[in-house]
């Protein structure tokens, strides 16, 4: 079984990203309901009146199934669009659901769930 370790970079522009030897880099995502604190390297409360931000590039690094992933994380859901309606009968997930991305957090994951924090592949604009 393969797992991914989430490494959130400081780079937003894909042209400025350094290539990785293993894994995949994901760019062009948006974070809704929270922001990324690049100095402290964890998810944080949104700035006032800013509900969606451009999210830095994520490096999904493959790790062995026995390797321990960080404890203090929020499994942030990633959706294709901001519409979270519709449900697959097989899994119960939204038809827009892509995957969960582990983000370091200094608070319990329930905090972010109540805030509706999620990554989006595209905005409604």
User: What integer pLDDT is reported at residue 68 of this predicted model?
Assistant: 65
From residue 2, give the alpha-carbon distance in Å to each of 22, 63, 67, 98.
13, 6, 10, 17
Given a contact cutoff of 8 angstroms between Cβ atoms, the answer to whether 35 and 44 are in contact is: yes
Alpha-carbon distance 76 to 61, whole Å?
17
Q: Identify the pLDDT of residue 88.
A: 67
- Domain coordinates in residue numbering, the chain: 2-120
- Which pLDDT score, from 0 to 100, does residue 89 have? 64
Enter the pTM of the model: 0.86
Rounded distance between C-alpha atoms, residue 11 and residue 16, angstroms = 7
User: Given the DSSP bridges, would you call strands 42-44 and 58-64 parallel, antiparallel or unpaired?
Assistant: unpaired
Please give the pLDDT value at position 72: 82
**What pLDDT does 71 receive?**
67
The CATH topology of domain 2-120 is: Hypothetical upf0131 protein ytfp (3.10.490)
* Grouped pLDDT means (10 residues each) for the chain, 125 residues: 86 89 94 95 94 94 74 89 73 78 93 94 84
């Amino acid at each position: 079984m393969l797992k991914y370790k989430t490494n959130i970079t400081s780079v937003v522009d894909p042209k400025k990203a350094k290539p990785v030897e293993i894994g995949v880099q994901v760019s062009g995502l948006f974070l809704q309901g929270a922001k990324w604190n690049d100095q402290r390297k964890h998810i944080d409360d949104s700035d006032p009146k800013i509900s969606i931000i451009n999210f830095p590039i994520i490096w999904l690094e493959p790790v062995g199934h026995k390797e321990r992933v960080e404890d203090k994380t929020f499994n942030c859901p990633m959706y294709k669009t901001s519409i979270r309606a519709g449900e697959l009968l097989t899994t119960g997930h939204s038809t827009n659901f892509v995957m969960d991305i582990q983000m370091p957090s200094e608070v319990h994951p329930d905090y972010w769930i109540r805030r509706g924090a999620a990554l989006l592949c595209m905005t409604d604009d």
